């Protein structure tokens, strides 16, 4: 069977099925699959006894469909050459901005928020989709301007590139995703090789900006953050003294996690979860269920799986045959780490409530499919880097 074939006017190769399978990063794929399975099980545990949804499998079924869709999309994306996105990145970026603006206009959501776009068969949470879009476009923007990375004006331009979608998702309002975008920018800057002076300036500006938004502007009577957002942000410092629902939620979440002790109360045995002391137990607070039912041990296994994924992603970033691929990998790793840290941190009281789902685990098809899309794109980077490395004689394709 033909493995590689030289074709076309330019120096390129044809990828055969066998080479694809051999160069595929199975560890990343299997870790993502394991975490997704973990998530399905926990969603089942958290929701099977919930009242009012008719079938006890309602959430699990929806999430399974999302998972299946996500895997199919991932495989398709792994076959598509990721370099194509770089060529189209301006259009993709424009499309993303359009999508976000459209969401603000026709989007649907609870209590005045605009988060969902209704498609004929399903609804899409545009902010989730934009996470993967910002990764492929920002990576292209930075890779194109790599020669300019010592120019602060270019750095500022890159910041502006991200600030526009940040403002749009913030208006939805979706503070969590806005912060995810910031995390993407930081991760890529790091791998891109931002000058350390620029990094210091940006970090200082960011800190000052946060202070302004949280303290100075409210003092002057300008509310950038809505009251409830501010309250959610600050409540984790003192949940017991909060009278809004968030203090209760955080206190109950902490009780749930901590009462799991070493090995947990057992799968489907969490009292905090099943007696409804813990609302939102299948979405943002799914980690509380894991902590309660599977204990420290279960939490360590999950975190271990995440760590494996991050390691594989950084490995892909290091071995990519283009800066573009490397930056994509860094961006995806940044999203994963940021969301895991913020989400888990929220349930155990060390991070504010920002409404970020736990990757691959929290209920929600949009988020699940988007993370699988990211896995697919990284597999594409991995496959192509491996084969390019082989064709350049650097890496043996067969071990």
Partner 1 sequence: MVYLEPAKKHRPPSEDPSTGIRLGVFLGIVVVLFGIIVFRLWFLQVLSGDHYVSLANDNRVRTVSLEAPRGVVKDRDGEVLVENRAGLSVGVLPMDLKNGSDVLARLAGVLDVPYEDIKAKVDKAKQQDPYRVVVLAEDVSETPTVAYLKEHSLEFPGVRVQKSYLRSYPRGPFAAHILGYVGEISEDELNEERFRTLSAGAQVGKGGVESSYDSFLRGIDGRRQIEVDADGRPKQLLETDNPIPGNNLILTIDSQLQEAAEQAIVEGIERAHAGDFEEADAGVVVAMDPRTGEIMAMTSYPDYDPSVWVGGISEKNYEMLNDPAAKNPLFNRAANGLYPAASTFKTFVAATALREGLVGWDTLANCTGRYTVSDQMLRCWNIDGHGEVNLVEAIMESCDVFFYQLGEIFFQQEGPVLQEGVRRFGFGQTSGIDLPGESRGRVPDKDWKRQFGETDELKIWTPGDDVNLCIGQGYLLVTPLQLAVAYSAVANKGKVLVPHLGRQITDPSGSIIHEFQTEVRGELDLAGDTYAALYKGLEMVTSDPLGTAHEAWKGFPIAVAGKTGTAEKLPDDDYAWFVGYAPIDNPEIVVVALIEKGGHGSNVAAPVVRRVMEAYFRTGDTGLGDIEATE
State which of positions 314-353 bind partner 1 (CB under 8 A).
314, 317-323, 326, 330, 333, 337, 340-341, 344-345, 348-350
The tokens of 15 are what?
A: 């990828």
CA gap 41, 3 in Å, rounded: 40
45 near partner 1, judged by CB under 8 A: no
b/e burial code for range 185-204 (CB count within 10 A of at least 16 → b): bbbbbebbebeeebeeebee
Which of 21, 27, 72, 80 is in the footprint of partner 1 by CB under 8 A?
80
261 near partner 1, judged by CB under 8 A: yes
Nearer to partner 1, 217 or 307 (CB): 307
The count of residues interacting with partner 1 (CB under 8 A) is 72
Which of 181, 277, 363, 371 is in the footprint of partner 1 by CB under 8 A?
277
Minimal distance, residue 329 CB to partner 1, in Å: 9
What's the CA angle centered on 313, arms 311 and 314, to 5 degrees? 65
Q: Are 284 and 357 in contact (CB under 8 A)?
A: yes
Residues numbered 136 to 155 that lie near partner 1 (CB under 8 A) are 143, 146
389 near partner 1, judged by CB under 8 A: yes
CA gap 344, 255 in Å, rounded: 14
Nearer to partner 1, 124 or 344 (CB): 344
CA gap 101, 114 in Å, rounded: 10
Residues numbered 160 to 189 that lie near partner 1 (CB under 8 A) are 187
Which of 47, 130, 252, 283 is in the footprint of partner 1 by CB under 8 A?
252
Q: Which among 249, 286, 374 is positioned nearest to 59, based on CA atoms?
A: 286
79 near partner 1, judged by CB under 8 A: yes
Residues numbered 213 to 242 that lie near partner 1 (CB under 8 A) are none
Q: Which among 363, 362, 276, 290 is positioned nearest to 52, based on CA atoms?
A: 276
Minimal distance, residue 13 CB to partner 1, in Å: 5
Cα-based distances in Å from 215 to 134, 244, 351: 29, 21, 18
Minimal distance, residue 41 CB to partner 1, in Å: 19
Nearer to partner 1, 109 or 145 (CB): 145
Minimal distance, residue 147 CB to partner 1, in Å: 8
CA gap 398, 390 in Å, rounded: 9
Which of 126, 229, 283, 385 is in the footprint of partner 1 by CB under 8 A?
385
b/e burial code for range 69-78 (CB count within 10 A of at least 16 → b): bbbebbeebb
Residues numbered 4 to 23 that lie near partner 1 (CB under 8 A) are 7-8, 10-17
């Amino acid at each position: 069977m033909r493995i590689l074939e030289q074709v076309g006017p330019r120096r390129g190769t044809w990828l055969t099925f066998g080479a694809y399978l051999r160069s595929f990063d199975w560890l990343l794929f299997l870790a993502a699959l394991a975490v997704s399975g973990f998530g399905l099980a926990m969603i089942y545990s958290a929701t099977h006894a919930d009242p009012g949804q008719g079938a006890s499998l309602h959430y699990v079924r929806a999430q399974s469909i999302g998972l299946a869709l996500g895997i199919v999309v991932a495989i398709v994306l792994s076959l598509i050459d990721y370099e194509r996105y770089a060529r189209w990145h301006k259009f993709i970026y424009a499309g993303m901005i359009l999508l976000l603006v459209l969401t603000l206009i026709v989007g649907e959501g609870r209590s005045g928020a605009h988060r969902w776009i209704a498609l004929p068969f399903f609804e899409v949470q545009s902010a989730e989709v934009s996470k993967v879009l910002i990764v492929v476009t920002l990576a292209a923007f930075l890779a194109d301007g790599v020669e300019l990375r010592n120019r602060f004006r270019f750095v500022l331009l890159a910041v502006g590139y991200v600030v526009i979608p940040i403002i749009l998702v913030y208006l939805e309002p979706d503070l969590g995703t806005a912060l995810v975008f910031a995390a993407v920018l930081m991760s890529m800057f790091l791998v891109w090789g931002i000058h350390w002076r620029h990094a210091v300036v940006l970090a200082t500006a960011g800190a000052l900006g946060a202070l302004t938004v949280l303290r100075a502007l409210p003092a002057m009577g300008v509310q950038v953050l809505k009251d409830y957002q501010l309250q959610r942000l600050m409540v984790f410092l003192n949940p017991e003294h909060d009278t809004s629902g968030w203090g209760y939620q955080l206190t109950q979440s902490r009780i749930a996690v901590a009462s799991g002790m070493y090995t947990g109360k057992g799968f489907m045995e969490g009292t905090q979860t099943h007696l409804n002391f813990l609302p939102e137990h299948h979405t943002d607070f799914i980690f509380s269920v894991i902590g309660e039912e599977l204990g420290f041990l279960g939490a360590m296994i999950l975190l271990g799986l995440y760590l494996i994924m991050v390691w594989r992603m950084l490995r892909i970033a290091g071995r990519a045959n283009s800066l573009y691929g490397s930056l994509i990998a860094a961006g995806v790793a940044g999203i994963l780490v940021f969301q895991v840290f913020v989400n888990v941190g929220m349930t155990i009281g060390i991070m504010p409530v920002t409404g970020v789902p736990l990757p691959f685990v929290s209920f929600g098809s949009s988020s699940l499919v988007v993370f699988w899309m990211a896995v697919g794109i990284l597999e594409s980077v991995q496959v192509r880097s491996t084969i390019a490395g082989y064709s350049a004689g650097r890496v043996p394709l067969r071990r």
